[in-house]
Amino acid sequence: ACSRKNTRKAALHPLWQSPLTIPGGTRQSPINIQWRDSVYDPFLKPLKISYDPTTCLHIWNNGYSFLVEFDDSADRSTIVGGPLENKYRLKQFHFHWGAINDWGSEHTVDSKFYPAELHLVHWNAVEYPSFEEAVMEGNGLAVIGVFLKLGARHEGLQTLVDALPAVRHKDTVIEFDDFDPSCLIPSCPDYWTYAGSLTTPPLTESVTWIIKKKPIEVDEDQLEAFRTLLFTSDGEEERRMVDNFRPLQPLMNRTVRSSFR
Ligand SMILES: CCCCNCC(=O)NCCc1ccc(S(N)(=O)=O)cc1
Ligand SMILES: [Zn+2]
């Protein structure tokens, strides 16, 4: 039977004015991770993380989140192993969070939201010449996702939090150096992994997601500091940077693998 033309207009998301699901998208992110449906894969290797804190460059507010960017001109801050077939270079990390602690993460676990989620973005420098090229390729990117939960103050995060007032407005940037983001990654080696996409434009289906099972703990003041940032530039009417997470996307024909039993 011929397929009925889909005449329904794609719903637009207030934050990105782009379709919630891209036409023909079969591996979109984020997704709900149903723990009992994930499949243990004994061939998954441990993830090897080697970051050089001197590759840290600056923090900037890009109007979606705040990003900490790294010098990715050489293999100095890299990950290898896990589900990956190549070595991937760290380009940046950023967060997604909610207006209140009941939601904020992009991925959910058994439909539970965390108040925030950290994304460490890496690109396949073995096979591609630049991040921009890798963004367009199915095995171009690897993003480590770490859930944040409300609990004890995180000392490593505090150095970041202390810098946020300087990047309150969109398109502001400050120098930020000597930061080792491995302090934000739980020591527990357990993770889920699946084939997905960027969760903001250009939404390309180029990401191998590696979602850590264990969250890190941050305190209320640290979450509140994220919520003092603005989507808007200096001089515009202020809009608080909150709820910068994409809605859940259909799993479609995908399996989430776990590195643990
Ligand atoms: C739209 C212009 C693109 C220009 N080129 C820059 C670019 O492609 N940037 C994409 C950056 C990005 C977006 C989303 C994630 S997430 N949240 O999935 O980890 C990670 C990284
Ligand atoms: Zn992200």
Which ligand is closest in space to the CA of residue 133?
1
- pLDDT of 204 reads 96
Give residue 190 CA to ligand 1 midpoint distance, Å.
26
Give residue 205 CA to ligand 2 midpoint distance, Å.
14
Ligand 1 atom nearest 202 alpha carbon = 1
Give residue 199 CA to ligand 1 midpoint distance, Å.
8
Q: What is the pLDDT of residues 175-193, one digit of tens each?
A: 999 999 999 999 999 999 9
Please give all residues whose beta carbon lies within 6 A of any atom in ligand 1, as ranges. 119, 121, 132, 135, 143, 198-202
The β-bridge partners of 217 are 149
For residue 197, the one-letter residue type is S
- pLDDT of 3 reads 47
Q: Report the predicted TM-score, pTM, of the whole model to 2 decimal places.
A: 0.94
How many residues make up the chain in this entry?
A: 261
- pLDDT of 24 reads 81
Ligand 2 is an ion; its neighbours by CB within 5 Å are 119
**ipTM of predicted assembly, 2 dp:** 0.92
- pLDDT of 23 reads 73
Tally helices (H) and strands (E) across the chain: 3, 15
- pLDDT of 42 reads 98
Q: What is the pLDDT of residues 51-88, one digit of tens each?
A: 999 999 999 999 999 999 999 999 999 999 999 999 99
Give residue 172 CA to ligand 1 midpoint distance, Å.
18
152-159 long-range contacts (CB < 8 A, ≥24 apart) are 152/217, 152/219, 153/218, 153/219, 153/221, 153/222, 154/184, 154/216, 154/217, 154/218, 154/219, 154/222, 156/183, 156/184, 157/184, 157/216, 157/218, 157/222, 158/222
Nearest to 93 by CA among 39, 57, 140, 44: 57
**What is d(CA 183, CA 172) in angstroms, rounded to the nearest whole number?**
25
Give residue 96 CA to ligand 2 midpoint distance, Å.
6
Closest residue by Cα to atom 6, ligand 1, is 132
pLDDT tens digits, the chain, 261 residues: what are they? 344 454 556 677 666 666 666 778 999 999 999 999 999 999 999 999 999 999 999 999 999 999 999 999 999 999 999 999 999 999 999 999 999 999 999 999 999 999 999 999 999 999 999 999 999 999 999 999 999 999 999 999 999 999 999 999 999 999 999 999 999 999 999 999 999 999 999 999 999 999 999 999 999 999 999 999 999 999 999 999 999 999 999 999 999 999 999
Ligand 1 atom nearest 198 alpha carbon = 18
- pLDDT of 1 reads 38
CA distances from 217 to 153, 213, 223 (A): 7, 13, 10
Ligand 1 atom nearest 196 alpha carbon = 18
